[in-house]
Amino acid sequence: MYFKPLIDYALAQNLCVQEDACFLENQLLDLYHADSAEELPALSLSDHPKLGELLGAYTDLAAQRGILQGDGITARDLFAARLMGYFTPLPSAVALEFSIRGMQGQRQATDWFYHLCLANGYIQKERIAKNVCWQTETEFGTLDMTINLSKPEKDPQAIAAAAKAQSVSYPKCQLCRENEGYAGRMDHPARQNLRVVPLRLQGEPWYFQYSPYAYYNEHCIVLDARHIPMKIDRACFAQLLDFVSQFPHYFIGSNADLPVVGGSILSHAHFQGGRDTFPMAEAEIAEPVTFGGFEDLDAGIVNWAMSVIRLAGTDKERITELAEKILNAWRSYSDEARGILACTGDTPHHTVTPIARYRGGKYELDLVLRDNHTTPEHPLGLYHPHAELHHIKKENIGLIEVMGRAILPARLKTELEAVRQWILDGMPDTDDEQITKHADWVRSFRGDYPDDADWETVLREETGKVFKEVLCQCAVYPMTEDGLCGFRAFLETVQG
């Protein structure tokens, strides 16, 4: 059997059973436009190839036989997903297995589903491993730092092909359920190996899947069955708490529903969760707060770089009710002396980033106050990374980063290495843009370290400090006495 190495991998990963082997061999011969294995060249593989090696070899073969849409990484990814689609059970079978395992406990169900998505290559494990990760200690706890190298940048061939292609509006977005099994295009990823499982949140249909480029352990996406915009409201809070009641081993949160402070896809309501503990979750209450009429709930301001209110209790409905009151109060609250504006004309500026978890026998809901208004001095947002930090981080601060995990651009890997070498060379004059953008930053701390310092470690440490400052700049109420005074003044407006 020509495809025995790939079929053996699938057997070992429980993606198929031995009775499927002959059928799969024939299906793959057809995929490669071959009537028999004798038409195909011998492959050079190691004794125990991993999935990446297998996909590389069989995609090379597809390129040789003219099956790919091109020879760039996008075309190769489209084919790899197509290939692994043959080894992925039908959606109905996946949903049934998830349901059956869930009867033994939802952790068993997610364990099985997560393994499936790793084994069939939907979760890009080998690419994710390329990310550069470290931690930085701060007064707010340990921040998790990541230079994101897992998502491939679009290759020129894909960009050119997409520009020439006829506009297609199916699926409506990359989150829609209709992506399941979709072959993809040069401007839309292939999803033959994507599987989603149905859920019900507050009686409404939703779907559960994993992220192909996970930023943390068991990074999942929970998406509305409908293609409707993100909206933070009482229903959202109730849905988040419903999810953690069904999956208490996972946290879940939502990006904010306004530009600048929201996520990259605001057109489709969705949440992100997973089995991980973020730095913000480990932060303790800095100052307890009591809300009239809600004395049965624990509440307080969290000792965190951003402005966070934590609610906790055993009654989900009570937490939802108080969260709605806080949100409604925040949407209409202004404090112009502190640069806090609820709206400009009819344009709203205030919302929250909510995160839910179940811990210690209680439900918790963190509400992170967000404000997206701009000023002439800060045209991208007053509570957005300021211009002096853009050499490290310019992008929006969404859910994952709010919780203390930096997702930094891939360019920093080469830039920080160039800066390291520049320091070792004595910091000579240069017009290298990779260095000049960071030069003032480096000069600000160069004197704090000896000449023989480990500059790779130093640069990572200082980058972590910049990320902490990014979070602080996104805080509407900094953790200072004046900031806490303003925070207290807002909370006093929340009526029980």
For every residue of 238-267, DSSP letters joined together read HHHHHHHHH-TT-EEE--BSSTTTB-S--S
Residue 153 has pLDDT above 70, yes or no: no
pLDDT exceeds cutoff 70 at 464 = yes
Q: What is the pLDDT of residue 162?
A: 52
Q: Average pLDDT in the 152-168 region?
A: 57
Q: Which helix (H) or strand (E) holds 114?
A: helix 106-119
Q: Which of 65, 79, 68 is nearest to 35 (CA)?
A: 65
The per-residue pLDDT for 204 is: 98
Dmax of the chain from CA atoms? 79
Distance in angstroms (rounded) separating the CA atoms of residues 431 and 475: 35
**CB of 352 closer than 8 Å to CB of 442:** no
Q: What is the pLDDT of residues 301-324, one digit of tens each?
A: 999 999 999 999 999 999 999 999
111 burial via Cβ count (<10 Å: 0-12, 13-18, 19+): middle
392-to-65, 180, 305, 447 alpha-carbon distances in Å? 44, 36, 18, 20
Please name every residue paired with 144 in a beta bridge, in sequence order, or none if there are none. Answer: 135, 405
**pLDDT value of residue 151:** 76
398: DSSP letter:
-
Residues 369, 468: Cα–Cα separation, whole Å: 17
Per DSSP, 301 falls in state E
The mean pLDDT value for 124-135 works out to 96
The pairing of beta strand 141-147 with beta strand 343-344: unpaired
**108 contacts 102 by C-beta, under 8 angstroms:** yes
Task: Provide the pLDDT for residue 160.
Answer: 53
Q: Is the pLDDT of residue 70 over 90?
A: no
pLDDT of 374 reads 95
C-alpha closest to that of 278 among 131, 441, 155, 398: 398
Q: How many CB atoms lie within 10 A of CB 129?
A: 11
Categorize the per-residue pLDDT at 154 as very low, low, confident or very high, splitting at 50, 70 and 90: low
For residue 363, give the nearest of 311, 423, 420, 296 by alpha carbon. 311
* Averaged pLDDT of the chain: 95
pLDDT at 164: 57
- Amino acid 168: pLDDT: 80
Please report, for residues 178, 223, 372, the alpha-carbon distance to residue 266 in angstroms, rounded to integers and kept in the order given: 18, 12, 15
Measured in degrees and rounded to the nearest 5, phi and psi for residue 70 equal 180, -165
Helix residue ranges, H only, 145-303: 156-164, 234-246, 279-282
Q: How confident is the model at residue 69 (pLDDT cuts 50, 70, 90)?
A: confident
Cα–Cα distance between 358 and 353 in angstroms, integer? 17
Strand arrangement of the beta sheet that strand 141-147 belongs to: 132-138, 141-147, 405-408
Q: Are 184 and 169 in contact (CB under 8 A)?
A: no
Name every residue whose Cβ is closer than 8 Å to that of residue 482 and which is 6 or more positions away in sequence.
none
In angstroms, how far is CA 199 from the centroid of its own chain? 20
Q: Which two tokens stand for residue 59?
A: 């995609």
Question: Please, which pLDDT band fits residue 263 given cuts at 50, 70 and 90?
Answer: confident
DSSP characters over 421-433: HHHHTT------H
What is the tens place of the pLDDT at every residue in 477-493?
999 999 999 999 999 99
For tokens 């019900």, what's the residue? 200
Distance CA 283, CA 477 (A): 16
What are 142-151's pLDDT values in tens digits? 999 999 998 7
Residue carrying the six token digits 């913000």: 280
* Residue 159 confidence (pLDDT): 47
Under the banding of pLDDT at 50, 70 and 90, the label for residue 152 is: low
Residue recorded with tokens 């409908």: 226
Q: How far apart are CA 91 and CA 198, in angstroms?
A: 10
Percent of the chain with pLDDT over 70: 97
- Tell me: pLDDT of 407 over 90: yes
| pLDDT band at 163; cut points 50, 70, 90 | low
Rounded Cα distance, 172 and 182, in Å: 12
Residue 450, pLDDT score = 96
The token pair that represents 117 in the structure block:
């998505």
Q: Identify the three-state secondary structure at position 306.
A: coil
- Distance CA(460)–CA(464), nearest Å, equals 6
- Distance between CA atoms of residues 138 and 147, nearest Å: 19
Residue ranges of E strands in 251-344: 251-253, 270-274, 285-288, 298-302, 308-313, 343-344
pLDDT per position as a tens digit, 168-222:
889 999 999 999 999 999 999 999 999 999 999 999 999 999 999 999 999 999 9
Percent over 90 (pLDDT), the chain? 93
How do strand 308-313 and strand 298-302 relate by DSSP bridges? antiparallel
| φ, ψ at 300 (rounded to 5°) | 180, 165
**345-362 confidence digits (pLDDT tens):** 999 999 999 999 999 999
Position of tokens 């499982």? 197
DSSP 390: T
The pLDDT value given to residue 142:
98
pLDDT exceeds 80 at position 155: no
